[in-house]
Amino acid sequence: MTEQRIPYDEMVQNALLGVVRKVMQDTAKFGLSGAHHFYIAFRTDHPGVDIPAFLKERYKDEMTIVLQNQFWDLKVEEEFFQVGLSFNRKPAILHIPFAAVTGFLDPSVEFGLQFQRQRPEDKADDEADALGLESDGVHKISADTTAPNDAGPASGEANVVALDAFRKKK
């Protein structure tokens, strides 16, 4: 009998994606307030991502969009968001599953989330390792809170979610 492990990394990532989803839903309803604006990075090769061919050709693996002054028709659903943006004066509608998001940053308040995403071909290799344990027995967390100037953990290091950023200060 195989011992089942609690998928903490998946649970944390889903919870943090919920933060992104809620912020995007509020923005779709009420617009951006104050100086808030978002940088959203995502895997262009993730299943379900629908972007124009000229963008896919230029950004084969990953792309970052900015929601600030000129975007339209922001639609947010449970599994994806869709937004209109202009690229070199060419209007485009982008359809992006939340599962493709690799980063979210609101520089106006120095808040950022970074998600570990794999290329589709890499995921198949990892599925062979059902437990997903590192050599030291520590399970990698797949989401990391970062400040704008924080490069994050070095490649190969475990990512840690810093909960202090979410606690009320006395």
Helix/strand/coil percent split, the chain, to 5: 25, 30, 45
Cα 2 versus chain centre, distance: 31
Higher-confidence residue of 135 and 86: namely: 86
Would you call 8 helix, strand, or coil by DSSP?
Answer: helix
pLDDT digits (tens, 9 = 90+) for 12-42: 999 999 999 999 999 999 999 999 999 999 9
Check: CB of residue 60 under 8 Å from CB of residue 75. no
Strands 80-87 and 38-43: unpaired
Residue 154 confidence (pLDDT) above 60: no
Angle at 113 between CA 47 and CA 141, to 5 degrees: 80
Confidence band (pLDDT; 50, 70, 90) for 170? very low
- Please give the model's pTM, rounded to 2 decimal places: 0.69
Structural domains of the chain, with CATH: 8-130+139-148 (2.30.30.220)
Q: At 9, which helix (H) or strand (E)?
A: helix 8-30
What pLDDT, on the 0 to 100 scale, is given for residue 16? 95
Backbone angles phi, psi at 76, to 5 degrees: -125, 125
Confidence band (pLDDT; 50, 70, 90) for 49? very high
Tokens 């994606």 locate to: 17
Confidence band (pLDDT; 50, 70, 90) for 121? low
> What is the distance between the alpha carbons of residues 137 and 146, in angstroms, rounded to a whole number?
25
Check: CB of residue 138 under 8 Å from CB of residue 119. no
Tokens found for residue 51: 């972007």
Residue 53 confidence (pLDDT) above 60: yes
Tokens found for residue 89: 């004066």
